Amino acid sequence: MAFAIGGPFHLMYPARVERNIHAFRAVMREAGIAGVVYYGKKANKSPCVTRACANAGAGVDVSSTGELTAALAHGIRGADLMVTGPAKSDELLWLALRHGALIAMDSVQELDRVTALAAATGPARALLRVLPTGSTSRFGMTADELAVAVALIDREGGPVGLAGFSFHLSGYDPVARAEQACELIDRCIEARALGHDASTISIGGGFAVDYLPERAWREFTDGVDGEWFHSGKRFDSFYPYHHPAPGPAMLSTILEHGDLAARLRGNGIRLAIEPGRALLDRAGSTVFRVQGVKTRSAHGEPYRLLTVDGTSLSLSEQWFDSEYLPDPVLWPRRSGDPTPTCVGAATCLESDMLSWRRIPLPRAATTGDLLVYPNTAGYQMDSNESAFHELPIPPKVVIDDAEGDRLRWRLDA
Ligand SMILES: *Cc1c(COP(=O)(O)O)cnc(C)c1O
């Protein structure tokens, strides 16, 4: 593949996305609740992921006309779309209404605009996005704004139907999500007393991914200092690369807390989730070729400084002023001496490094070797992609196992 493509590329394995969706759904089934999975599309643009969602019966959560039309084009039906995001454009709202998507309203003003548009397009299905208690988020509505919004929605056959409530929290705390979900159930019960349907709550995304074993993560966080990085570089924070109960296990934890599952069942409420990163866990990796090698030293210890044929725009964590920590695999596998190695990009920016950290690769890398960064499908590979320096944007290669044991590859559509 590397020979055929002749530059950096991403690998995608959509069968894994389907398995991840089934794993979330299995948790819902075991908890005896009605539920639906919407893939948070911003985490990876690949059509093969959307197709996997269509195959596995998941919906897609979109926030732009580009994402909405791409989701439709790759097999998602309008009724299986969720539209989120702040102050959505009229064009996005109109398309969402035309296709019967579920719309998460972010403000009273937006509800007014949807009500006006829906008079011409036909009825809207609305979730009201809640600003979680104690949160300083710029998204969602306060309790007062929610009261105004609920009162604005006409119960009897008006253009907007109140399908329920939603939130999306940053961080990865299952307890905060379970408690917020309970508040949303109460809101549904109150809205029903006023004559609304209100039978869906969405608890958003933010299901953690477990990238590294606990020991590796503990050793890193206990020991990390600037001396570990090229040029004394320091980072303030890192993604929590180890999580004891990631993805579907985190959903189990949420449903068990305060017996949320029983409250959902008892009140006939459907649970929507919007995982992005977690549906992409182990569904992709990113391949660079070593283009140049230098030797540098820090405190008398030599280390390798590589230049690869791509940029950190294809490994996005640097965008958050942080670093992607799972070690890349050096290919081909050959014996040699462990060699601390940093990885720079093929651009003229001092700051464009894929790995500032001196990674203990199993041998000294040489020109022509491949470096494979694992598990990059979630947010790493294409969120920031750009033809900076007029370098080509790395293509995606899709691995297909439809023929049983025989793996096939093709370029992504
Ligand atoms: C980004 C986002 C998601 C997906 O978040 P992940 O952390 O990738 O699971 C889901 N819902 C909303 C509203 C979002 O903004």
Number of Cβ within a 10 Å radius of residue 375: 21
Ligand 1, closest atom to CA 204?
11
Q: What is the CATH number of domain 13-209+246-280?
A: 3.20.20.10
Q: Say if ligand 1 is within 6 A of residue 204 CB.
A: yes
- Domain map (residue ranges) of the chain: 13-209+246-280, 284-411
Q: Say if ligand 1 is within 6 A of residue 205 CB.
A: yes
The residue whose CA is least distant from atom 1 of ligand 1 is 40
Instruction: Tell me the per-residue pLDDT of 185-200, one tens digit each, with 9 for 90 and over.
Output: 999 999 999 999 999 9
Instruction: Tell me the per-residue pLDDT of 288-308, one tens digit each, with 9 for 90 and over.
Output: 999 999 999 998 999 999 999
CA of 227 to the centre of ligand 1 (A): 34
User: How far apart are the C-alpha atoms of 375 and 358, rounded to whole Å?
Assistant: 20
Q: Say if ligand 1 is within 6 A of residue 10 CB.
A: no
- Structural contact between residues 348 and 330, judged by C-beta atoms closer than 8 angstroms: no
**Intervals of the chain under pLDDT 50:** none
Identify the pLDDT of residue 156: 67
User: How far apart are the C-alpha atoms of 152 and 393, rounded to whole Å?
Assistant: 47
Q: Say if ligand 1 is within 6 A of residue 74 CB.
A: no
CATH architecture designation of domain 284-411: Beta Barrel (2.40)
Task: Report yes or no on whether pTM surpasses 0.85.
Answer: yes
- Structural contact between residues 275 and 247, judged by C-beta atoms closer than 8 angstroms: yes
* 3-class SS of residue 173: coil
Identify the pLDDT of residue 259: 97
* 3-class SS of residue 157: coil
Residues assigned a catalytic role = 348
Ligand 1, closest atom to CA 38?
10
Nearest to 317 by CA among 346, 348, 286: 286
Contacts of 75 (CB under 8 A, 6+ apart): 50, 51, 53, 54, 55
- Structural contact between residues 13 and 285, judged by C-beta atoms closer than 8 angstroms: no
User: How far apart are the C-alpha atoms of 252 and 403, rounded to whole Å?
Assistant: 33
The residue whose CA is least distant from atom 10 of ligand 1 is 205
CA of 207 to the centre of ligand 1 (A): 9
Give how far the C-alpha of residue 346 lies from the chain's centroid of Cα atoms, to the nearest Å. Answer: 27
CA of 406 to the centre of ligand 1 (A): 34
Number of Cβ within a 10 Å radius of residue 77: 14
- Structural contact between residues 183 and 133, judged by C-beta atoms closer than 8 angstroms: yes
Using only C-alpha atoms, the chain has a radius of gyration, in whole angstroms, of 23
User: How far apart are the C-alpha atoms of 89 and 91, rounded to whole Å?
Assistant: 5
Identify the pLDDT of residue 41: 98
Contacts of 404 (CB under 8 A, 6+ apart): none
